[in-house]
Amino acid sequence: METFAHIPLFDVKASAGNGYVIHEEEETDALIFKKEWIYNELHSSPANLYLIYVEGESMEPALRPGDVILVDHTDNVAKRDGIYVIRMGESLLVKRLQRLPSQRLKVTSDNPAYEPFEISLDFDLQNELSIIGRVVWSGRRH
């Protein structure tokens, strides 16, 4: 079993929509991943990872309600474009982030029904926005 990592699954939902309010974080289950795969494919460490659920349709077709996402909580400054879990106020969201000039960040949903928006990193990171981590894998039940 030393070749495998136990990655906790929390009963937390990141909204692919307008936001999911976090009430508490409780580990409800776990998935097992090969450590070698985590190191070589994700370029991360098992200690940096956890799993949560997706709720809402704003990130369809990439992410759907009920999907499980693997989040690397050490990748929390959005140095590169990708899908991230963010906290805005009390809401937890999963969105595509893109760095823009002048300390701005573009927040986009894959579903065209949701309008993209921009935020200032200078102001928002200190107040209403936290980048929780980058989504490095997703799984779905068919």
- Cα gap 142→91, rounded to integer Å: 28
Of residues 142 and 36, more confidence is placed in 36
CATH code at position 126: 2.10.109.10
Report helix, strand or coil for 122: helix
At residue 38, the 3 state secondary structure works out as helix
Q: Per-residue pLDDT tens for 39-57?
A: 999 999 999 999 999 999 9
Share of the chain above pLDDT 90, in %: 67
Nearest to 21 by CA among 84, 92, 99: 92
Number of domains comprising the chain? 1
Residue 2 has pLDDT above 60, yes or no: yes
Q: pLDDT above 70 covers what percent of the chain?
A: 89
CA distances 35 to 32, 43, 50, 53, 71, Å, are 9, 11, 14, 22, 15
**21 pLDDT higher than 70:** no
In total, the chain counts a number of residues equal to 142
Domain that holds residue 109: 4-139
